[in-house]
């Protein structure tokens, strides 16, 4: 089953890439607008073999990690607070909803103004995206705590702090983790869009430079590197998730052994 | 509503659905305040959670993110016992409820009966003076259920805690308890019957159901309970 899925995936990818290459070579579509896979591959190879890409990759990774960490910590802490203190959530609810309704891209120029052209403005943009994902998931996770488990922990003698550690946080963990995978994507978006709109380094800068000179090969090559970059990050997070949530039943496993 | 349990007594509370049996337990546990009146525990009025009570819930109450061992060790750890010592004692208690070798399983890897055993060990390790049980075996199949009932009697026999056992199953109530208290149909339910069960101990819940004395008591209480069940359904 797994092998067959992999086979189909590989076949589909091959078909797509080969179709693209053939169409360009046969002259059905214009290479100026669409480039072609062989050129793109060559460009990616060139970037890595000359080492030109590493500085850009590193800066984007750094911005992504910072935005991810800061946004997640802020989101989880605030999510916990609002979920556990009903008054706070009642007061802050409209404010948070209003902030979340702002399209974040609009903030990019303002952040550049505030924080300059460097790393800080990109991180700030990423944080505004990541924060809300972490926040809403943590809030929901805490609200969904099983009341029987909670009552049981209280009867066993758990204090407020112990409830947080032994019940609320582990219970919310699966929500928080599923949010982390979305968050990584958003952190990358924040970093790349920030770079795209104004910077001197990073993958977003690379793509925007290529666009500036109508170098479609460069744009597509940048996208490929970006896609692989995000898939790798997502893989790392899902491995961490699988390790930390071993207690969670996989579907069909519920009911257990006798 | 007025209900007194003597220390060391096994009291079963029966009544039709919706008569507030579970509510009584939650009030005695201190999980919710009584609408009026008060609860006295060991002679003192109850404020906040009942520190002397252990509570065995009807639904699954184990932390799914902790192993069987961690679940049982939780109570002592929460109350300040060093984790190593708590785990050692938890191991002992798991063995006592027949789960040696299942220490590292997570709840989802255990059957319904095993989960109940872990929950029982989780409560008993704290040696509470009072044991509150809310239809704890309601979701189990008949065989597992009788096994668990005998297990419970065996463990209870060791130190005779005061037990409040809520159930809608009259046979279970008679087989286990020293006293069966019958609640009337809700709302505004009250105690309408209070029966001493003078059956000899130790008992086997499966065998005792077949004795003449058991059937005699069952007939007597059922006569009273049937009307209430009818009323609960009609209302």
Per residue in B146-188, pLDDT (tens digit) is 989 999 999 999 888 999 999 988 999 999 999 999 988 777 7
pLDDT at A255 over 60: no
Minimum mean pLDDT range among A48-57, A164-173, B15-24: B15-24
Torsion of CA B34, B36, B39, B40, to 10 degrees: 160
pLDDT of residue B234 exceeding 80, the answer is no
Q: What pLDDT, on a 0 to 100 scale, did the predictor assign at position A108?
A: 87
Task: Decide if A157 and B126 are in contact by the 8 Å CB cutoff.
Answer: yes
For every residue of B13-59, DSSP letters joined together read: EE--TTSSHHHHHHHHHTSS--SSS--EETTEE--SS-TTEEEE-SS
SS3 category, B165: strand
* Among A257, A179, A236, residue whose Cα is nearest residue A61: A236
Q: What per-residue confidence (pLDDT) applies to A258?
A: 38
Torsion over CA: A200, A202, A208, A210 (sign): positive
Exposed/middle/buried for residue A29 (C-beta within 10 Å: 0-12, 13-18, 19+): middle
Buried b (16+ CB within 10 A) or exposed e, A170-201: bbbbbbbbebbebbbbbbbbbbbbbbbbbbeb
CA A18 to chain centre: 30
C-beta atoms of B111 and A256 within 8 A: yes
Does residue A252 surpass a pLDDT of 60? no
pLDDT at residue A117 greater than cutoff 90: no
Interface of A with B (CB under 8 A): 148-149, 151-159, 162, 166-167, 170-171, 173, 245-249, 253-258
The DSSP output letter for A8 is H
The pLDDT tens digits of the residues spanning B24-35 come to 899 999 998 888
Q: Enumerate residues 6+ apart whose C-beta is below 8 A from A75.
A: A130, A131, A132, A133, A134, A135, A136, A137, A138, A179
B38/B47 Cα distance (integer angstroms)? 9
Give B7-26 pLDDT, tens digit per residue.
889 999 998 877 788 888 99
Q: Do A148 and B110 touch (CB under 8 A)?
A: no
Residues in chain B: 235
Question: A-chain residues within 8 Å CB-CB of B64?
Answer: 149, 247-249
Range in A20-24, A70-74, A247-251, B227-231 with the lowest mean pLDDT: A247-251
Sign of CA dihedral B104, B108, B110, B115: positive
Contact list in A for residue B79 (CB cut-off 8 A) is 157
Q: Do A256 and B29 touch (CB under 8 A)?
A: no
> CA A170 to CA A248: how far, in whole Å?
11
Kindly state the tokens that stand for A228: 């692989």
Strands in A22-61 per DSSP E? none
Query: To which residue do tokens 């007025």 refer?
Result: B2
Q: Indicate yes or no: CB of A156 within 8 angstroms of CB of B122.
A: yes
Q: Distance between CA A154 and CA B59 in Å, rounded? A: 16
The angle formed by the CA atoms of residues B18, B24 and B27, to the nearest 5 degrees, is 130
- CA separation for the pair A24, A137 (Å, rounded): 45
Contact A157 B55 (CB under 8 A): no
| Helix (H), strand (E) at residue A37 | helix A37-50
Within 10 A of B97 (CB to CB), how many other CB atoms are there? 24
Q: Provide the CB-side half-sphere exposure for B24 (13 A, CA).
A: 30
Nearest to A166 among B51, B63, B67 (CB): B63
Rounded average pLDDT over A216-231: 91
Judge: A256–B59 Cβ closer than 8 Å, yes or no: no
**Does position A257 have pLDDT exceeding 60, yes or no?**
no
pLDDT tens per residue across span A16-36: 999 999 999 998 988 888 899
Which residues of chain A are within 8 Å of residue B108 when distances are taken between CB atoms? 247-249, 253-256
Cβ-contact B102, B94 below 8 angstroms: yes
**How many other CB atoms are there within 10 angstroms of residue B215's CB atom?**
12
Q: Which two tokens stand for residue B181?
A: 């208290």
Which residue of B49, B51, B65 is in closest CB contact with A247?
Answer: B65
Supply the pLDDT for residue B178.
93
Residue matched to tokens 């006295």:
B40
**Averaged pLDDT of chain A:** 89
- pLDDT value for B119: 95
Domains identified in chain B and CATH numbers: 1-52+128-235 (3.40.50.300), 60-127 (no CATH)
User: Tens digits of per-residue pLDDT, B25-68?
Assistant: 999 999 988 888 888 888 888 888 998 999 999 999 999 999 99
Q: Give the side-chain half-sphere CA count within 13 A for B225.
A: 24
* Cβ contacts of A245 on chain B, cutoff 8 Å: 65
Token duo for residue A5: 């899925």
**Of B61, B108, B122, Cβ closest to residue A253:** B108
Token pair for A24: 């360009």
ipTM above 0.85, yes or no: yes
Q: Please tell me the predicted confidence (pLDDT) of residue A57.
A: 92
Domains assigned to chain A = 33-244 (1.10.3720.10)
pLDDT of residue A180: 86
């Amino acid at each position: 089953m797994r092998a067959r899925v992999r086979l189909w995936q590989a076949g589909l990818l091959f078909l797509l890439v080969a179709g693209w290459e053939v169409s360009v070579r046969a002259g059905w579509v214009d290479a100026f607008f669409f480039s072609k896979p062989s050129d793109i591959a060559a460009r990616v190879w060139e970037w890595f073999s000359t080492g030109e890409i590493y500085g850009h990759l590193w800066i984007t990774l750094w911005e992504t990690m910072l935005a991810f960490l800061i946004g997640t910590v802020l989101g989880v802490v605030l999510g916990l607070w609002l979920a556990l203190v009903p008054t706070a959530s009642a007061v802050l609810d409209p404010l948070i909803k209003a902030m979340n309704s702002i399209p974040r891209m609009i903030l990019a120029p303002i952040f550049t103004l505030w924080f300059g052209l460097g790393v800080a403005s990109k991180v700030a943009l990423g944080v505004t995206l990541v924060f809300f994902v972490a926040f809403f998931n943590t809030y929901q996770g805490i609200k969904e705590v099983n009341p029987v488990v909670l009552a049981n922990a209280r009867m066993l003698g758990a204090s407020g702090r112990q409830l947080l550690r032994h019940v609320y946080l582990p219970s919310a963990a699966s929500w928080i983790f599923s949010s982390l995978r979305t968050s990584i994507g958003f952190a990358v978006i924040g970093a790349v869009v920030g770079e795209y709109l104004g910077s001197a380094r990073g993958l977003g800068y690379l793509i925007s430079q290529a666009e500036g000179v109508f170098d479609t090969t460069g744009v597509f090559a940048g996208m490929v590197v970006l896609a692989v970059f995000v898939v790798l990050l997502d893989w790392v997070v899902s491995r961490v998730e699988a390790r930390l949530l071993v207690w969670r039943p996989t579907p069909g496993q519920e009911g257990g052994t006798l | 509503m007025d209900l007194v349990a003597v220390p060391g007594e096994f009291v079963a509370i029966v009544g039709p659905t919706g008569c507030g049996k579970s509510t009584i337990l939650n009030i005695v546990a201190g999980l919710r305040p009584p609408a009026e009146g008060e609860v006295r525990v060991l002679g003192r009025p109850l404020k906040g959670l009942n520190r002397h009570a252990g509570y065995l819930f009807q639904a699954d109450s184990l932390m799914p993110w902790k192993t069987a061992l961690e679940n049982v060790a939780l109570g002592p750890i929460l109350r300040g016992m060093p984790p190593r010592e708590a785990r050692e004692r938890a191991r002992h208690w798991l063995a006592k409820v027949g789960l040696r070798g299942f220490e590292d399983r997570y709840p989802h890897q255990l059957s319904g009966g095993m989960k109940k055993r872990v929950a029982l060990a989780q409560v008993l390790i704290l040696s509470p003076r009072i044991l509150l049980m809310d239809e704890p075996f309601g979701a189990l199949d008949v065989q597992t259920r009788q096994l668990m009932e005998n297990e419970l009697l065996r463990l209870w026999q060791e130190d005779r805690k005061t037990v409040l056992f809520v159930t809608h199953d009259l046979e279970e109530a008679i087989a286990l308890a020293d006293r069966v208290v019958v609640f009337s149909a809700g709302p505004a339910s009250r105690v309408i019957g209070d029966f001493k069960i003078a059956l000899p101990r130790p008992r086997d819940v499966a065998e005792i159901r077949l004795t003449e004395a058991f059937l005699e008591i069952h007939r007597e209480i059922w006569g009273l309970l049937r009307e209430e069940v009818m009323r609960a359904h009609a209302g």
